[in-house]
Structure 1
């Protein structure tokens, strides 16, 4: 489709979406409580902000296909982070400077005006991945209808230290000045660039804030810098990293760094470089601070080039559940489900198992839209592995397995028998400081998110079992595990 004007593009997009919505509604993989597109394709979360009493989430959206392509900004909002309202498409690629896509970015409150800062994309040679990207803004007084700045782009060209791959602006305010970080690459080195402005329209280039070495990726997408407990956290999504032990096994990663940022020099230094989520499907994470002072995170719960069976049902893509980012008592950066997700709970289930050896069906607990909290007492344990199996079929052909290997002290997420999607195993080290092991699991119709010991290890993954695979099992290999408690709830379908 050729760029025309915003209203015409939206009318055409709505026509395509309405044709496919019924197909999505009948999909066995349609999520119940995650942010998903009404139909067609979704990827990165964008423009996360709490503004005028609503949580706003924008996202990369291609309304004309179930694959990535001509990117728009989709839009939902919520008063409670749980029940979402769909709003009109916020941005369309309707100008020369963004003709090939309104790419990722952020949102800020500029004296009561909701302002989106995004990347305008032009393909020079799509097959060679040659692009020319710039930074643009759009504004809204009502939080629903947006107008692009008449003098866009506000940053037209990348600096000499970067390249045409120059995208994903994250903007924040500090001491009455606006700051922006942008991801770029040059000579196979990923970089984060820093800019400063007084009015969001005239930007001064400060320099390269931080860059990778050749082991840490050739491109750093979606940078996000924020302060937490006196430390400066940088989240970014490197491309081009090689596997290293149990780490970096996805096509692309999302990592966090803990360090210090100097506003005077514009330089960032760090001492921690770790994957934020150790699972299969987690990319382009972004955060924002809400009215309660919490740092809240969303990410795209998919990864490029993975198999997406939902495409056969007219849609693809999901965001993670909202997660609060914090430091725990041990000084570790953790992410945990926001407390508002408890609003989804209904039909509580509880049981205590005095001893588990082998595999035990959790009688009376089943479903494909569940929250489960399972606690294992590992004192005096002789078993070699303990865990849960969810989305199990009655014929034992399908199961998604999460477990703890006692000898190696590793959490394991195994989806080799999880249904129609990709298989694979992910592992992550967990050093216990007590004898308690707590699995907090969110299951939706085509996903599973695991939070271990209050977010010390987090693993996310898309799974595509049959809708009839609904059983839950507890298991212990090698010997007995004592005192297993399970608490669970069915969860509301917010899209019905």
Structure 2
């Protein structure tokens, strides 16, 4: 193994003396540490894993490489919460390094069985010629939080006709059986999802491919997630290799979904509509859902993307998770709202009303680097109107509505340190409505924006100066009525 690979595929106990302490000190000096998002103590965070409700608490794991900001030796790191708003750091959940996860415990999911939480994940291994051999593995968490890996993988080989890109099992129970979908790549280098069935989570039978209309749609489908909502089937996945198309598919990799009739488990046929993107922003990938005890379908995603450098890399850490969202279906479209429990984060509140007439205006009490804000624009004839936030003398992130084009636009061209410039500095989507409601969750280095109660969502990292804390409201080419409320976090 060459030196760069040796550095990337080290476990924590292989760190040099004092290395972790130096890394923590480096991270502590970073001006872009988040205040209410899940983020790594050091190193790199990516996919959310094992999102589940067990023993009266929500459990959420994430992919973690502790010793750098590249995609190296992956652990599962464990967080838990009683309310989806306040998270407790539990520590390492799954440690790699065994014969079937020698080069990382890759993504997977969780399900309760016999009063224990079963974690099904992809074990990543490399042989002497650096050829990948994936295994689908099981670890079991008991009611005391102890996690033990099963000795043998439960799926030990890649099916014939598929490449070594075979990972990310998402498991569920139905009609007395367990099923899982696994992301795969066919030998002809196109992406798909494979469907498996098990009576006990240990003996798995390959049923075959999930049959969709997307036979040539990217070269790999990562992080598949099948569930049913309002008597409809939903398949979420992250296809790689999709070309940009107008305002769609602008990021390096996409995350989206299909909706249709429930999956026929006998024929594996999924009758569905068009592929739709889940998020319109710059930084959103590898989402995972779970069913809450009250029946809600909740989603969390990685607020980041592979193969792109981020400004925090130089400070020894990278990425965070999105806030939890509640999913519902409306005419074949997934509606995403912030989990209602997030209101527990609200502190001091300020309200304002203003009639904007060809102006940019600051309002008393509206500023900060960490807050939730709801702005409603109505009775508008302005050509454009919106918000400048995390703004300063030379910086601003702009969220606006272009009435003539009927587009909501997020512009981070002046947001501070840049990210992924080669993929563009603006994102937009079409919204045609008599009023516009923008709900923003702004943290030190991110924003999550819900348009008209979750009809569209923009998720993005931003890296402004710590002094850029102004909020400005504007209308140009006419007027708009503004009602706004902000809660400090």
Instruction: With the length of structure 2 as denominator, give the TM-score of the two structures.
Output: 0.93
Which stretch shifts more, 9-18 or 314-323? 9-18
List gaps (5 residues or longer) in structure 2: 4-9
Contact 2:237 2:255 in 1 (8 A): yes
Contact 2:347 2:488 in 1 (8 A): yes
Deviation at 1:327, TM superposition (A): 2.1
Question: Relative to structure 1, is the Cα distance of residues 296 and 143 closer, same or farther in structure 2, using a 3 angstrom cutoff?
Answer: farther
Specify the SS of the correspondent of 1:242.
coil
Contact 2:212 2:270 in 1 (8 A): no
Please name the residue that 1:342 is paired with: 343
Contact 1:449 1:460 in 2 (8 A): yes
User: Equivalent residues in 2 for 1:6-405 (5 A)?
Assistant: 9=11, 16-123=19-126, 131-142=132-143, 144-150=145-151, 152-186=152-186, 187-210=188-211, 213=214, 216-260=217-261, 261-328=263-330, 332-377=333-378, 379=379, 381-393=380-392, 395=393, 397-405=394-402
Which stretch shifts more, 18-27 or 231-240? 18-27
Q: Deviation per CA, 1:388-426, whole angstroms, max 9, x where unpaired? A: 110001x2x100001111111111010000001225100
User: Equivalent residues in 2 for 1:409-420 (5 A)?
Assistant: 409-420=406-417
Specify the SS of the correspondent of 1:340.
helix
Specify the SS of the correspondent of 1:20.
helix
Q: Deviation per CA, 1:179-236, whole angstroms, max 9, x where unpaired? A: 0100001212101000000111100110001357475211000000000000010000
Contact 1:136 1:149 in 2 (8 A): yes
| Cα distance in structure 1, aligned partners of 2:213 and 2:387 | 38
Contact 1:357 1:480 in 2 (8 A): yes
Which stretch shifts more, 299-308 or 230-239? 299-308
Contact 1:398 1:419 in 2 (8 A): yes
Contact 2:111 2:172 in 1 (8 A): yes
Q: Deviation per CA, 1:338-374, whole angstroms, max 9, x where unpaired? A: 0111111111011000234221123331100011100
Q: Deviation per CA, 1:449-469, whole angstroms, max 9, x where unpaired? A: 110001111010000000110
| Cα distance in structure 2, aligned partners of 1:44 and 1:407 | 38
Contact 2:106 2:123 in 1 (8 A): yes
Question: Relative to structure 1, is the Cα distance of residues 58 and 126 closer, same or farther in structure 2, using a 3 angstrom cutoff?
Answer: farther
| Cα distance in structure 1, aligned partners of 2:80 and 2:286 | 20
Contact 2:356 2:474 in 1 (8 A): no
Deviation at 1:155, TM superposition (A): 0.3
Question: Relative to structure 1, is the Cα distance of residues 126 and 101 closer, same or farther in structure 2, using a 3 angstrom cutoff?
Answer: farther
| Cα distance in structure 2, aligned partners of 1:211 and 1:366 | 48
Deviation at 1:23, TM superposition (A): 3.0
Deviation at 1:44, TM superposition (A): 0.3
Contact 2:11 2:73 in 1 (8 A): no
| Cα distance in structure 2, aligned partners of 1:351 and 1:72 | 46
| Cα distance in structure 2, aligned partners of 1:201 and 1:111 | 13
Q: Deviation per CA, 1:12-34, whole angstroms, max 9, x where unpaired? A: 67975444333323321111111
Which stretch shifts more, 175-184 or 362-371? 362-371
| Cα distance in structure 1, aligned partners of 2:50 and 2:124 | 17
Question: Relative to structure 1, is the Cα distance of residues 446 and 50 closer, same or farther in structure 2, using a 3 angstrom cutoff?
Answer: same
Question: Relative to structure 1, is the Cα distance of residues 389 and 162 closer, same or farther in structure 2, using a 3 angstrom cutoff?
Answer: same
Contact 2:389 2:472 in 1 (8 A): yes
| Cα distance in structure 2, aligned partners of 1:75 and 1:67 | 20
Contact 2:12 2:66 in 1 (8 A): no
List gaps (5 residues or longer) in structure 1: 3-7, 492-496
Please name the residue that 1:488 is paired with: 486
Deviation at 1:158, TM superposition (A): 1.3
CA RMSD of aligned residues (A): 2.1
| Cα distance in structure 2, aligned partners of 1:412 and 1:113 | 46
Contact 2:125 2:133 in 1 (8 A): yes
Deviation at 1:103, TM superposition (A): 0.4
| Cα distance in structure 1, aligned partners of 2:24 and 2:212 | 43
Deviation at 1:83, TM superposition (A): 1.1
Aligned residues: 476
Please name the residue that 2:6 is paired with: none
Q: Deviation per CA, 1:116-174, whole angstroms, max 9, x where unpaired? A: 100011235998xx522120001121363211112x21101111232111000000000
Q: Deviation per CA, 1:301-352, whole angstroms, max 9, x where unpaired? A: 0112323111222211100010001124x66321110011111111101100
Q: Deviation per CA, 1:31-59, whole angstroms, max 9, x where unpaired? A: 11111111111000000001001111100
Deviation at 1:269, TM superposition (A): 2.3
